[in-house]
């Protein structure tokens, strides 16, 4: 089972493939089945979904996921997946200064971009997190902004905006392709 989220225009050639060992999956523990049954995919997801700067070390045995539109020239962490499509758009990044990226206006604009994604994008991301967390104790979202470790949770960064979006259920809506069918 590959570990890269398959978005329709994603490129994962740069990210190494990883697999879930079949013996680690218990019968009936499929993340998709949990979601369909209305159970939380990962009951302790808030504690196991971490955030860090891509220039800082990450906890051991975590699954690092890069959340940037462009590939970094240098990265202290060897990331295992790249969720480029869930990063802020280049237009948003070019219209805000580095100081703005820590402000509420950036967070609101980025959240608005995430909220217009099809609902299936959120579900796919959650299913992928659940699969990774069956093997790893945590997943760490990585982005460029440097923040002191003690202020990581209190500072507005793209990785924290994405984390909040992943932890909150978006309002149900139809995607463009679903609207065409109905």
Per-residue pLDDT tens digits for 137-180: 999 999 988 888 888 888 888 999 999 999 986 665 554 555 44
Q: Is residue 22 in some structural domain? A: no
- The pLDDT value recorded for residue 180 is 47
Task: Give the pLDDT confidence of 30-80 residue by residue, as tens digits.
Answer: 555 455 445 556 678 889 999 998 888 888 899 999 999 988 877 767 888
Give residue 69's domain range: 36-168
Cβ count near 132 (within 10 Å): 22
Q: Is residue 6 in some structural domain? A: no
Q: Tokens 């992928």 sit at which residue?
A: 128
Distance between first and last Cα of the chain: 32
Which residues, including other chains, have CB under 8 Å from residue 132's CB and lie 6 or more apart?
Answer: 3, 63, 139
Which residues, including other chains, have CB under 8 Å from residue 130's CB and lie 6 or more apart?
Answer: 31, 34, 41, 42
Q: Is residue 24 in some structural domain? A: no
Q: Is residue 27 in some structural domain? A: no
Residue 100 has pLDDT above 50, yes or no: yes
* The total number of structural domains that make up the chain: 1
Q: Is residue 180 in some structural domain? A: no
Residue 2 has pLDDT above 90, yes or no: no
Q: Is residue 50 in some structural domain? A: yes
Q: Is residue 151 in some structural domain? A: yes
Q: In terms of pLDDT, which residue wins out, 11 or 115?
A: 115
Residues 112-122, mean pLDDT to the nearest whole number = 92
């Amino acid at each position: 089972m590959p570990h890269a989220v398959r978005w329709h225009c994603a490129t994962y050639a740069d990210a190494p493939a990883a697999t879930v060992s079949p013996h680690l999956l218990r019968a009936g523990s499929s993340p998709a089945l949990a979601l369909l049954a209305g159970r939380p995919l990962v009951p302790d997801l808030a504690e196991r979904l971490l955030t860090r700067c891509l220039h800082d070390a990450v906890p051991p045995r975590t699954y690092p996921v890069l959340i940037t539109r462009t590939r970094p020239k240098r990265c202290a962490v060897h990331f295992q997946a790249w969720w480029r499509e869930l990063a802020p758009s280049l237009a948003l990044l070019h219209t805000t200064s580095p100081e703005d990226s820590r402000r509420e206006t950036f967070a609101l604009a980025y959240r608005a971009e995430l909220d217009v994604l099809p609902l299936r994008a959120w579900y796919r991301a959650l299913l992928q997190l659940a699969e990774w967390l069956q093997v790893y104790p945590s997943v760490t979202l990585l982005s460029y902004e440097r923040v002191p470790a003690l202020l990581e949770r209190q500072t507005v960064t793209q990785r924290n905006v994405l984390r909040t979006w992943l932890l909150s259920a978006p309002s149900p809506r139809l995607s463009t392709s679903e609207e065409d069918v109905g």
